Structure 1
Amino acid sequence: MKTPTGAGRGLTTRLRTAKGRTTASQRWLERQLNDPYVRAAKAAGWRSRAAFKILELDEKYHLFRPGQRVVDLGAAPGGWTQVAVQRVGERGKVVALDLLPMDVIAGATLLQGDFQDAAVEQAVLDALDGPADLVLSDMAPNTTGHNATDHLRILGLIELALDFAGKVLVPGGAFVAKVFQGGTERDLLNRLKRDFATVRHAKPPSSRKDSAEMYVVAQGFRGASADAGR
């Protein structure tokens, strides 16, 4: 995938006024104004720059196929969902789930709720009309600024998403989730390796260099029998 023009350059646009803004919010706004991926996402009609992350992961790991059933956990505002809809085509099914309401995305079923709720899990399966081929999670907990605490929080969230994936994935399916630098702890990594044929860590080019985020890409789900051995 071609990197948007201007990626990697220094800041070129400054806010005209900082009135009413904290230093942190001013820095965030300046970064957004000068981020080539933000501009490229807007030009392409993606709801967020995060769309480029899943596009880049797909280019490397071939996650999507026409006709797939896909679940996007923590989907708001919907950038990954948009990409999934485009990649699976009209024969595919995409279900986007979030605690927050989302604006309609043509070609996707949007559900609001907690994926840990059994009724929500069933609603996802009903909307897919069968098991999922791919479960995506770009979820991250609210950060505290304390690295060890934040690392444990993201690992806990991944474990919950993995529990969900184990219930809805078809054998041979795939799971993609956000992690923080340092990757997955040994117990979680062993679990992933037991349940999937291949497990890799990746940092897409569009992921900001100063960000601790990475992604775990697990492919070749071994099926419910592996999950039952926990």
Structure 2
Amino acid sequence: MAKKPGTKGTSGRGQRDLHVKVKTARGRSNSSTRWLQRQLNDPYVKRAKADGYRGRAAYKILELDDKFRFLVPGARVVDLGCAPGGWMQVAVPRINALGEKSGKAVGRIIGVDLQEVEPLAGAEIHQLDFLDDGADEQIKGWLGGEADVVMSDMAASSSGHKQTDHLRIIALCEAAAYLAFDVLAPGGTFVAKVLAGGAEGELQKILKQRFEKVANVKPPASRSDSSEKFVVATGFRGRVEG
């Protein structure tokens, strides 16, 4: 019997994954169609659903921590722009926030975001604009002291203009860095998303003054066609007085 089109043999591997094609629907732009098709065929999106993560971004912090080991039991963590919560999902078991690792120190994680975020066991989530005056003291109050890690996967709303978007996310990352300077304990770590594009030189200069080591990394979970990368600054030197 002849095979139906599109049902080639699978050499004993079971039914093959079919590449999902998305037709351009009326009212949907070509760019949004390409984005939707990429989402439907993204292996990290599929893994996130299977593993119960709130988004594919969870694998970015997982891969970064596998390399740099900053989410350790007992760590006190601040997640800026924490929605939808994927980074916190990775952090909670690694810092032992639920106390499930017997004999290990119990960590704490504070998530802050402009929008309301679905609760997550082991994490304390607050609706807050971290740019507000006094946000650093609020965060330290919630945390009960200084943080060991400040991490941020924030991105400014896209304007559709590449250079403008680059400048916006660098400004946001710089603001997150300055908050980290106020809340981190000596020896702490700052992790944040940036976009490559030429304006990040000043940010790199500032971080190198405040941290022992500054690395720029593109984890495997970052899409190859994206200018996204992550800065991982370790060994915070402490606050500068004056």
Answer yes or no: same fold by TM over 0.5.
yes
Shift of 1:146: 2.6
Match of residue 71 from structure 1: 78
- The whole-number CA distance in structure 2 between the counterparts of 1:138 and 1:183 is 19
What is aligned with 2:156?
Answer: 141
| TM-score of the pair, normalised by structure 2 | 0.84
Which residue of the partner structure matches residue 167 of structure 1?
Answer: 182
Residue aligning to 1:13: 20
Q: Which runs of 5+ in 1 are unaligned?
A: 1-9
Gap regions ≥5 residues in structure 2 = 1-16, 100-105
- Deviations 1:145-169 (CA, angstroms, capped at 9, x unpaired): 3332222211111111011000000
For residues 29-72 of structure 1, the C-alpha deviation after alignment (integer angstroms, 9 at most, x for no partner) is 21111111001011111100000000110111112110100000
1 CA distance for matches of 2:215 and 2:138? 30
Equivalents in 1 of 2:140, 2:234: separation in Å? 20
CA drift at 1:188: 2.0
* Alpha carbons 1:11, 1:30 under 8 Å: kept: no
Q: Deviations over 1:87-144 (max 9, x none)?
A: 1013110011100111011100011010122343333212211100000011111222
Amino acid at match of 1:199: V
Distance in 2 between residues matched to 1:30 and 1:179, nearest whole Å: 25
1:21-60 correspondence to structure 2 within 5 Å: 21-60=28-67
CA spacing shift, 1:11–1:98, aligned 2, 3 Å: farther
Alpha-carbon distance in structure 2 between the residues aligned to 1:78 and 1:24: 26
2:172 is matched with which residue? 157
CA contact (8 A) 2:108 2:143 kept: yes
Aligned identity (percent) is 53
Are the aligned partners of 1:183 and 1:214 in contact in 2 as well (CA < 8 Å)?
A: no
* Contact in 2 for aligned 1:174/1:220 (Cα 8 Å): yes
Q: Larger Cα Rg: Structure 1 or Structure 2?
A: 2
Match for residue 118 of structure 1 among 89, 114, 133: 133
Amino acid at match of 2:135: V
The 3 A distance-change label for structure 1 pair 151 and 11 is farther
CA contact (8 A) 1:11 1:31 kept: no
Q: Aligned Cα RMSD in Å?
A: 1.9
Structure 2 distance, partners of 1:184, 1:23, is 29
